[in-house]
Amino acid sequence: MSPSTEPTGSAADEATRELARLQRQIAQARAQLADLQRQVAQARADRDGDRQARLADANDPRRATSLVDKHARAMAAHERQHSVNKEASTQLAGDHARAMAAHERQHSESQQANMQLVDDHALAMAAHERQHSENKDASTQLVDSHELAMAAHERQHSENKDASTQLVDSHELAMAAHERQHSENKDANTQLVDGHELEMAAHERQHTQQQEANTQLILAALDARDLQVAAELAQRRQTDFLAVLAHELRNPLAPIRSAASLLGMSGSDETLLPRLREIIERQVTHMSRLVGDLLDVSRASTGKLRLEREVIEMGRIIDEAIDACRPAVLARGQRLDVTRPPTGLEVCGDPVRLAQVLGNLLDNASKYTPEGGSIGLAAVVVDQSLVITVSDTGIGITAEALSQVFEPFVQEPHATGFNSGGLGIGLTVVSELIQAHGGTVTASSAGSGQGSQFVVTLPLFDREHP
């Protein structure tokens, strides 16, 4: 819309709002008029009732006087209502006249705005025609310039074509001379390449022979060094193991010797005999366990480890292992948390060996956990496997020792510093026994002082496919 039509549009909007306001007032007046008409109808009905009452009581002078007064009041009310109706009608007529005047003003302003739009459109069309004529003249000049340029281009193209023809002829002569030179150079190069290939072949054969000899020397040196390192490591481990074994076997002998000396005394107290017998039995049991672990490692390495398999409920084996380790746990003030299903843990295995596995894991957890620490055993069924997890809040396992934790005779320094007992073959026995049962055992730890976790997985017994 052009700027000249904006005031007209504002006036039209104002007239429209004024017309809407008047229409609302007219609607209100019509509602009042309808209300008055209802009142008049009611008054007429009352008047008809009074008329009938007057006819019934025409012989009663007092009632006649009362009816006259009542009729006079009704007529006065009717006159007042008529006056109000007349004023409302006058008001409606005035509002209607003002609304019509506002409508006429709005119509006139809209007509003026339309005429202004028509004039603006005519001016725009005239400007468009002038622009079209100017563009047509410019296009004609552009076509003429293009034709002149094309003619010049054709002349230049003809000249370039002649020059290109001459250049091609010169190039063909030069290429012929180049071909002859290339053929001569190729023959010479072929002779050089043949001689060079013979020399390279001889050099390659000599280099290959030298490389094979060097490789054999290096492999021999590496094998010798690896064998020497392995022999030194094995010797060092054997020496350390013999020292630990001598120490572990000597430790129980001192209490046994002391108990034997007390037993040899003729005047020894009779009340000491049960205690001395308990000491001897405990130390002999410890020595028997050490020898048994050594025999298990030896049988596993030679393939002579035998299992007495039967279908067993692992809940009973777990309870037996917990009862066996509970005195040591209570003596250290540790907490033992056990979680397992009541039934449904059947496996096909050697009950003695499986109890030995759980006993070793629980014993290690208690031995390497400080007093007041926590030990956990959880058994769950995952698919067709039984998963038993033994965890503790103990000294943990370093990343360097974690990869060798199941190797025989390997003991971490900070573990032996915390508790120096054992030969370092308990976890080896655990690994060998679990593998013999067709299961797996893994170890994990967040590091030194972060506790450790051992997870044993055994296949459940399938009664449908035993």
- DSSP states of 47-68 as a string? HHHHHHHHHHTTT-HHHHHHHH
Q: What is the DSSP string of 142-173?
A: HHHHHHHHHHHHHHHHHHHHHHHHHHHHHHHH
Instruction: Quote the tokens at residue 256.
Output: 């046994």
pLDDT confidence band for 108 (50 / 70 / 90): confident
Residues of the chain with CATH 1.10.287: 3-141
Q: What is the rounded distance in angstroms from the CA atom of residue 114 to the CA atom of residue 162?
A: 71
Question: Minimal CA–CA distance to 425: which of 360, 368, 372?
Answer: 360
More confident call, 187 vs 323: 323
CA-angle at 31, arms to 27 and 35, nearest 5° = 170
Residue 391's pLDDT is 97
CATH of 308-459, one of 3.40.50.150, 4.10.80.400, 3.30.565.10, 3.40.50.1970: 3.30.565.10
Q: What is the dihedral of CA 331, 332, 334, 340, to 10 degrees?
A: -60
Q: Tens digit of pLDDT for each residue in 300-357?
A: 566 666 788 999 999 999 999 999 889 889 999 999 999 999 888 999 999 988 998 9
Task: Give residue for tokens 């309870």.
Answer: 319
459 within 8 A of 436, measured Cβ to Cβ:
no
* Residues in contact with 54: Cβ distance below 8 Å, sequence separation at least 6, in sequence order: 64, 67, 71
More confident call, 405 vs 262: 405
- 3-class SS at 383? coil
Phi, psi at 147, each rounded to 5° = -65, -40
Q: What is the rounded distance in angstroms from the CA atom of residue 397 to the CA atom of residue 394?
A: 9
CA-angle at 442, arms to 436 and 444, nearest 5° = 160
Q: 139-148, 295-304, 405-414, 442-451: which range is least confident on average?
A: 295-304
CA-angle at 399, arms to 395 and 403, nearest 5° = 110
Regarding the domain delimited by 3-141, which CATH topology (the fold level of the hierarchy) does it fall under? Helix Hairpins (1.10.287)
pLDDT confidence band for 84 (50 / 70 / 90): confident
Phi, psi at 265, each rounded to 5° = -75, 130
